[in-house]
Structure formats: C-alpha cells, structure tokens
Amino acid sequence: MIRKASFFFSFLCLIFFSAIVIFLFTESLPIWKSEGASFFSRKLWYYRNESFGLLAMVFGTVWVSILALGIAAPIGLGTAIYISEYSGGKARLFLKVLVELLAGVPSVVYGLLGVLVLRGWIRQTFSLQSGDTLLTAGILLAIMILPTLVSLSEDALQGVPRRYREASRAMGLTKVQAIIYTLLPSAKTGLISSGLLALGRALGETIAVFLVIGRADNRLPKTLFSLKPLVEAGQTLTSKLGGSEVNLAYGDPLHWGAICGAALVLLSMALVAYIIGELLIFQAPER
C-alpha cells in the first residue's frame, strides 16, 4: 500500500509539472510566433510599444546567480567542513539544526533585511545614488542560499566513509591534509551537486531580489566582461515575473505571451540545474 501510494503521488507531481509546462508553452505561443529567436537576443523590453526581449533579464539572472554562488560556495564549504570534521556530538547537532532553521526563513524576511541594511551599506561603500543594484541582489541571494549549500555539503562530507579518514591519518597526514587530499576529492561529486541544487534555488528566488535589484529592464554592459553593471540597477527573470507588470499583461495576448515565455525560460534554467545536480548525486559511487 505504501509503495502504491508513493507511486501515485509521484506520478501526480509529474502530471502537475507537465501541466505547468504545457500551460506556459501554449500561453506563450503568441510571442514565439511574433518574435521567434529574437525574443532571446533582443535586449529591449518596452511593453507599451510591444517590443519584448529577454537578453538583459537573462544577463541579470545569470550574473546575480553566479555572484551568489561565488560568494556562498567557499563560505558554505568551510562551514560544512567545520560542522562535519571539527564539531562533534551536541555541537554538531545544534549547528545542523540552526542551519536548517535558517534555510526555512521566508524570503521576504531576507528581502526586508536587504532593504534595511544591505542596500544602504552598498550605497555608502561604492558611493552610489542608490543601493538597488545587481551586486546587492547577488549578496542577498548568497545569504539566502548559504544554509541550503551548507546542509547539502555537510551531508556529502558525512557520506565519506570513516575508514578513509582513519587511513589518511595512519599514513601520517595531518587533519587538514586529510581533508584536502582525501575527504574533498571523495565528496567532490556530492559537493558539486549541492552547488547546482543551491543554484537552482537561487534562480527561483523572487521577492527578495525584487526588493533590492532596482528593476531596470534594459541594462546590458557594453562589453561582455564589464563589471560596471554590477553596481547599477538591473532586472532578473524572477523580479520581472514578481512585479505588477504581470497584472498589466493579462488580457493582452502578446504581452501575456511574453510574460509566460519568460516564465518558461526561467523554469527551464532552474530545471537544468536541478537535473544535473540530481544526476551527479545518482551517479556518485556508493560509500
């Protein structure tokens, strides 16, 4: 009975997900027919002139996500190593529970903290007129995904058999050397997958990013590797979908199709990150 119930609810989740994909695809057909591939390559989004392009928003999404992961990954890995290898007993349990609690804090709370604290700090540090920037959103997102990254990385480190650690110490390696040369390589697949799963969460965060990013639709750097846009207002796919424009778009087939097309692109990006992360976990050798 339990097996059949599990299969039924898993199949139900698959049906719901398929229904979402089909709905977004069918609702976005007007924009695909009107714009085609230029929907991805055009940077301008002016809904009053019925000109829709996702390039600037995809750029903002990628930059904010990479920035968040780049900040959170080393901090998360160091924290996970401490919890797994240096804290023991009740201390490890307390830290683990604390990390899980932080992961459960609503995103709007992080967003309000970003508005009250982080935005002002960015403005003063970089002498800006406004603290609503891609950098602010990236740092805030790094704080938000950090508990998820720590928890998954610690699980990956705990998956390495104890005999690996004991064999390393028996060969004369110090604890730090054992972590660097034995523990981390053995847990590499799990650590990479935890980063990808955290990236998937970063791609889907809406309200916190919406509050601090500035929501400038058409900002793109003059050169691909320019860092100047990081301290300017920008836009991501999630902040676009979380704004009031969704209400304005409903009833206009082309505008609504562009909104649904943006949602479909965002869903695809998050899905790719999750699938790669899960495949890495699935293909990891059993401990």
- Residues 181-217 have pLDDT tens digits of 989 998 888 888 888 888 888 888 888 888 898 888 8
Task: Name the helix (H) or strand (E) containing 248.
Answer: helix 245-249
Kindly report, residue by residue over 143-186, the tens digit of the pLDDT: 999 998 999 899 889 888 888 888 888 888 888 999 999 899 98
Q: Are 166 and 182 contacting, i.e. CB atoms less than 8 angstroms apart?
A: no
In this structure, what DSSP letter does residue 224 have? T
What are the residue boundaries of the structural domains of the chain, listed by start? 56-249
* Residue linked to tokens 């609810």: 9
Quick check: helix, strand or coil at residue 250?
Answer: coil
Q: Look up the CATH architecture of domain 56-249.
A: Orthogonal Bundle (1.10)
Is the whole model's pTM more than 0.85, yes or no? yes
The pLDDT confidence band at residue 225, using thresholds 50, 70 and 90, is low
In whole angstroms, what is the distance from residue 135 CA to residue 248 CA? 28
Radius of gyration of the chain from its Cα atoms, rounded to whole angstroms: 22
In whole angstroms, what is the distance from residue 158 CA to residue 84 CA? 6
